[in-house]
Structure 1
Amino acid sequence: MDKTIGNPLSWLGHRLAAGSAHLAETTQAIGGDSGARPVAEGAIATLTVADLRAALRAGWDDLLHSRADAMVLCLLYPVLGAVLVYAALTHSLMPLVFPLLAGFVLVGPLAALGLYEMSRQREAGREMRWTTAFDVVFSPAFGAIAVLGLYLAAVMLGWLLSARLIFEATMGPELPASFGAFVTEAATTGAGWTMGLVGIAVGAVFAALVLATSVVSFPLLLDRHVGVPNAVVTSLRVTRKNPAVILAWGGIVAAVLALGALPALVGLAVALPLLGHASWHLYRRAVPHG
C-alpha cells in the first residue's frame, strides 16, 4: 500500500467525525441504552441483616479465591493515604488529616470498582486475577462510571471544604504548633469538642448522601447499561425500601475501614477488597438477576 500525505482538511474531517462518534457513544453510556429505566420497586428485594452477613461471607470467599491479587491491587490505597496524610502535615493542612482519612468512606465505591468487576467475572465462571480489575476500562458503561466517579470526587471536595470551615470557626484560624498540639487541643478543649461534634454531624450527612446514591449504582452500571440517572434512582429506591439495613451496611463499611486505617493504613489492603467484593454480592441480593 502506498504511503502518502493525506489532505489536511480530509484528515481533520475524519478526526472530527471519529471524535463526534466517540462523544455520542459516551453520551449514550451516561444516559443508558434506549428505553433504559431504573429497576422497578417491585423487583428490588427486601433485605435483612442475614443478607449483610451473607454478602460479607461471599466477599471473604472472593478475597480468599483471589489470593493476594486483590490485596496487591489495593496496596495503592494505603500508599495514597500515607502520601495525603504526609502532604497535609507538611503543607499547612494539618486540620484536614482526619477528614482525609474519613473521606475513604466517601470514595470507597469508586475505589472498589475493580473489585466489583473481579467478583462479576468470577460469578460468570471466568478466572479472576488482579488484572481483571482493569477490564472496567473496556466496559461500555465506562463513560457513565467516570461521571459517577466525578460526582464522588465533588462530594469529597465538599466534605474537605466543610471540614476546613468547621476548624476555622471553632479552633482556628491559627494553626497549632504541631500535630501533637492539635490532637491535644482537639481532645481537651471546648473548641476541640465542638469541632469534633459538628464535624461528625456534617460528615454523617455527606456519608449518608454517598451511601444512598451509590450503594448499588456502580455495580449496576457494570452489570446493565442503564445509565447514571437510572443507576442513582435505583440506588435511592434500594435505600428507601431497606433504610435500616442500608444504614447498618454503612456502619459496617465505616467500622471496617476505620479498623483498616488504624495500623498505619496498611489494613486497608485487606479491608477494601473485602468490602468491595461484599458490595457486589449485596448488590446481587438487592437487585436480583432479571
Structure 2
Amino acid sequence: MANFHVYAAGTGSDVQHPTIRRIGVSDVLDALRLGFEDFWDKPSHYVFLGLIYPIVGVVLITWTSGGNALQLIYPLMTGFALLGPIAAIGLYEISRRRELNLDTSWWHALEVRNSPAMPAIVVVGIMLMALFVVWIVTAHTLYARVYDDAVPLSIGAFVSDVLTTQRGWTLIILGNLIGLLFALIALSTTVVAFPLLLDRDIGAYAAIETSARAIMANPVPMLFWGLIVAVALLIGSLPLLVGLAIVLPVLGHATWHLYRKVIEPAPAPVPVKAARSRKRSN
C-alpha cells in the first residue's frame, strides 16, 4: 500500500508544484489546432471512443423523458459536460503516445487503467461526479422554487412556457448563472489535472492545486478555453448529440496540448552516479 498515494506523490507528504508557463490566446488556438491534427491522424479510432459521450447522453434524455423529469434534460446535457475530462482520459494517452512517436492504436487508450496515478485520477473523477450530482440537485431545486415543482406535460408545452413567460426567463437566467459557477469550479480545479496525473504521478491535491494556479496565472486564455469548450459542446449537442462524437475527441486531444503549453516539463532525473558525486563535492 506504500505506492497507493492520492494526496501527494511518493510515500511522504511533500506536494510537488509544477512550474506554470504564461500563455496567450494564440496558444489556446494552437492547442485546438493540434487537437484537430491528432483527431484526423486516425479519426475512426477516436470517433469510436467519442461515441461513448452521445450514447450516454441519449440514454439520459430517454430516462428523463420516461420519468416525468423533462425539466432536467437541459441541466443533464449541460452538466454532463462536467464529466468530459473523465471521458477524455484515454484521448490524452493517445496524444501522449503520438507525441512520443509510439503506436497510437485505439486500444492503447485503455492502458490508462495501469497508470500508477490511477488512485489519484479516480479521486479527481469522484470529485467531478459529486459536482455533477450537486449541479443536478441544484437545478431541480431551482425549478421547484420557480415552478412550484409542477411536472411538465410535454416537451413542447414546457419549452413554450420557459421561452414566453416571466417565470421561464427567471429559470433561464438564474439557471445559466448558477451553471456558469459550476463550470468555473470545474475549470479551475481540473483544467490540466487529468493530463498532469497521466504524465506525472504527483497526487490528486497537487493536480487540482496546479490547475488552480494555471487559471490564476492565465485567466484570459483559460477563460477563452472554457468558452471554446462550452460553445463546441453546445454545437455538438444540437444534432441529437451526434456532433459530440467529433467534438469530444478534438477537445480531449486539444486539452493535452494545452497542458503541454501551460505546464513546464518535469526536470530530467539525476543519474545515481551524478547525484553521489555532487554529494561528495559538497
Q: TM-score, normalised by structure 1?
A: 0.89
Deviation at 1:119, TM superposition (A): 0.5
Give the gaps of 5 or more residues in structure 1: 1-20
AA matched with 1:31 = A
Matching of residue 137 in structure 1 with residue 113 in structure 2: yes
Q: What whole-Å deviation, never above 9, does each CA across 1:10-34 have from its counterpart, x for those lacking one?
A: xxxxxxxxxxx4xx433x2453224
Match of 1:25 in 2: 3
AA matched with 2:181 = V
Give the alignment partner of residue 178 of structure 1, picking from 135, 154, 165: 154
Deviation at 1:193, TM superposition (A): 0.3
AA matched with 1:92 = N
The percent identity for this pair of structures is: 41
Matched-pair contact (CA < 8 Å) for 1:29–1:225: no
SS at match of 2:34: helix
SS at match of 1:68: helix
Give the alignment partner of residue 222 of structure 2, picking from 238, 246, 250: 246
SS at match of 1:103: helix
What do you get for the CA RMSD once the two structures are aligned? 1.2
Matched-pair contact (CA < 8 Å) for 1:38–1:234: no
Alignment size in residue pairs: 265
Q: Distance in 1 between matches of 2:73 and 2:43?
A: 32
Give the alignment partner of residue 62 of structure 1, picking from 21, 35, 38: 38
Q: Distance in 1 between matches of 2:260 and 2:108?
A: 19
Give the alignment partner of residue 142 of structure 2, picking from 166, 187, 205: 166
Match of 1:8 in 2: none
Matched-pair contact (CA < 8 Å) for 1:59–1:281: yes
- Note the 1:9-158 alignment, pairs <5 A: 21=1, 24-26=2-4, 28-34=5-11, 37-40=15-18, 43-158=19-134
AA matched with 2:103 = E
AA matched with 1:235 = S
AA matched with 1:98 = Y
Q: What whole-Å deviation, never above 9, does each CA across 1:211-250 have from its counterpart, x for those lacking one?
A: 0000011100000110000111111000000111111100
Q: Distance in 2 between matches of 1:56 and 1:64?
A: 12
Matched-pair contact (CA < 8 Å) for 2:50–2:248: yes
Give the gaps of 5 or more residues in structure 2: 267-282
Deviation at 1:122, TM superposition (A): 1.1
Matching of residue 227 in structure 1 with residue 203 in structure 2: yes
SS at match of 1:148: helix
Deviation at 1:176, TM superposition (A): 1.7
Q: TM-score, normalised by structure 2?
A: 0.91
